[in-house]
């Protein structure tokens, strides 16, 4: 069985800046002998979904803006940096960057958390298209969509860390 500190060290960043999810998963006995993507993802998602609405909002707010100020300042987590670069968000034209900045601002003003999308396999046009569609959602619908995207991001991060069954 993996030790608590090792589990938290390995999986505490799967949900952006939210190690409490890994801590609770371990402490609540969700972690078994076998660590594979499906089991760990199921455990972490169960904890995330059981968290209070304020805690889940905190997880959403822990995510950086896409192509935003943290990216420009070089202050993204390694995972976020790789994910955004893989989608080409580190190579935007000035016009594209301006559009992302406008959408980021409008989105946060409307919903109170940044636009979140699992960017793996997407290019900047697909991301921009999703951004422009989702900004018209209700807050409740977007909270659910963002929550599902956070869970998808966690799955993709776990796939890079663990074997599948």
- Cα 165 from Cα 159, distance rounded (Å): 11
- pLDDT for residue 163: 72
- In this structure, are residues 40 and 11 in contact, taking their beta carbons and an 8 Å threshold? yes
95: nearest Cα among 128, 121, 63, 73: 128
Give helix 20-27 / helix 37-50 axis angle, nearest 10°: 100
Can you identify the CATH homologous superfamily of domain 64-153? Oxo-4-hydroxy-4-carboxy-5-ureidoimidazoline decarboxylase (1.10.3330.10)
What integer is the mean pLDDT of 138-165?
A: 93
- In this structure, are residues 4 and 126 in contact, taking their beta carbons and an 8 Å threshold? no
What integer is the mean pLDDT of 80-84?
A: 78
- pLDDT for residue 134: 98
At residue 88 the predicted structure's pLDDT band, cuts being 50, 70 and 90, is confident
Q: Annotated active-site positions, please? A: 63
Domain spans of the chain, in order of start = 4-57, 64-153
Reported as a single tens digit per residue, the pLDDT across 95-112 is 998 999 999 999 999 999
């Amino acid at each position: 069985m993996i030790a608590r500190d090792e589990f938290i060290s390995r999986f505490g960043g799967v949900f952006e800046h939210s190690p409490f999810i890994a801590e609770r998963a371990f402490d609540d006995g969700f972690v078994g002998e076998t660590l594979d993507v499906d089991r760990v993802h199921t455990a972490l998602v169960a904890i995330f979904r059981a968290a209070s609405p304020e805690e889940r909002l905190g997880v959403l707010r822990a995510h950086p803006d896409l192509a935003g100020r943290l990216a420009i300042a070089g202050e993204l987590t390694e995972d976020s940096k790789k994910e955004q670069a893989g989608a080409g968000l580190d190579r935007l034209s000035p016009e594209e960057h301006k559009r992302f900045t406008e959408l980021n601002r409008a989105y946060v003003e409307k919903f109170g958390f940044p636009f979140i999308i699992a960017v793996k396999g997407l290019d900047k046009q697909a991301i921009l298209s999703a951004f422009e569609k989702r900004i018209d959602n209700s807050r409740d619908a977007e909270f659910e969509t963002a929550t599902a995207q956070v869970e998808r991001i966690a799955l993709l991060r776990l796939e890079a860390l663990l074997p599948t069954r």
